[in-house]
Amino acid sequence: MGRNLFNLKELSITEIEAILDQATVFLNAKNHKKFAGKIACNLFFEPSTRTQYGFQVAEMNLDIKAIGFNPEASSLKKEESFYDTIKTFDAFGADLLVIRHPSNGYYEQLAGKIETPIINAGDGTGDHPTQSLLDLLTIRQEFGSFNGLSVVMVGDIAHSRVVHTNFEAMKRLGMQVYTSGPEECRQNELNFIPLTQALSRCDVVIMLRIQHERHGKRLCMATDEYNSKYGLNHENVSLMKPNAIIMHPAPINRNVEIIDELVECGRSRIFKQVKNGVFIRMAAVKYALEAD
């Protein structure tokens, strides 16, 4: 009954494409009340706007009752463990748990112990499968397919779960995948490329927020210095290919990784990503609930 979605490595290309197809069906459908009577618990142990409330909207679109969770007002404050908190929601008899947690691979301690299907909404610097799926849907809408496209992810590579999920999945889908950004945020095995080269070569440019909360100390650099070296601005945006697009998982630090005027420019698909996120999350919920 039901199945987990922890990361994209466990899905075949056919399964990934099937979730994108299902999201497209939801995007085009007027009426999709499907899971009346089901209950989903959205258990976010880290702050979140798009993922948390996007899941809530997705669940409501499917007629699922959604329960939110405030760690500050829970028995975590009485030193209850993460494991016992999740066991409790499992015992409630909910139909789905959507979990975000700062520890990489938090779900490993739950596998086999929790009956309710779990969707991973982000684990530390590990994975973020629904973000990656919505990125893929946005790219497929734009270019029709993946094979032969080039993508660069720019910014805090080492601390980004978005990069870690996208890199593997995009390569498997036949894309040429590069990363760029400050030296202290690099991961050498992830195909580094200088930003100016990347901008003239890539069809998709994904900008990223510096994950200050995952650094020992704050990365010390003035905002305008960061933008001129590693961000998108009026000068370097002109290097991009005519049909290339700008994406960002958000939250955005305007004028740091991307200047204010470019966030909603003609090349930007940033708010389209947010919209696609609702339909991807509906498809992910359907995937988790409908396993046989």
Q: Which residues bind ligand NCD (CB under 6 A)?
A: 50-51, 122, 128, 131, 161-162, 209, 211, 249-250
Per-residue burial over 251-270, b = 16 or more CB atoms within 10 Å of its CB, e = otherwise: ebbebbbbbeebbeeebbbb
- Minimum Å distance from CB 72 to ligand NCD? 19
Give the closest residue to 194 by CA, choosing from 242, 251, 152, 145. 152
Q: What is the dihedral of CA 11, 13, 14, 18, to 10 degrees?
A: 80
Of 120 and 211, the one with the shorter C-beta distance to ligand NCD is 211
- Rounded CA gap, 237 and 239, in Å? 5
Amino acid present at 285? V
The CA-CA-CA angle for residues 218, 222, 224, to 5°, reads: 135
Range list of β-strands (E), the chain: 39-44, 65-67, 96-101, 118-123, 150-154, 176-180, 204-207, 245-247
Q: Quote the least distance from Cβ 182 to ligand NCD, whole Å.
A: 15
The DSSP H or E segment spanning 170 is helix 161-172
Nearer to ligand NCD, 35 or 54 (CB): 54
Question: Closest CB to ligand NCD among 87 and 214?
Answer: 214
Q: How far apart are CA 209 and CA 38, in angstroms?
A: 35
Which residue from 131, 160, 119 is spatially nearest to 270, judged by alpha carbons?
A: 131
Cβ closer to ligand NCD: 140 or 161? 161
Q: Given the complex with ligand NCD, which of 55 and 178 has the nearer CB atom?
A: 55
Q: Closest separation between CB of residue 115 and ligand NCD, Å?
A: 27
- Please give the Cα distance from 38 to 96 (Å, whole number): 8
Task: Name the residue among 183, 190, 173 with its Cα closest to residue 132.
Answer: 173
Q: Name which of 35 and 167 has its Cβ closer to ligand NCD.
A: 167
Q: Is 130 helix (H, G, I), strand (E, B) or coil?
A: helix
Least distance to ligand NCD, CB of residue 257, Å: 10
The residue sitting closest to ligand NCD, measured at its beta carbon, is 209
Instruction: Provide, rounded to whole angstroms, the least separation between the CB of residue 33 and ligand NCD.
Output: 27
Beta carbon nearer to ligand NCD, 80 or 184? 184
Cβ proximity to ligand NCD: between 85 and 131 the closer is 131
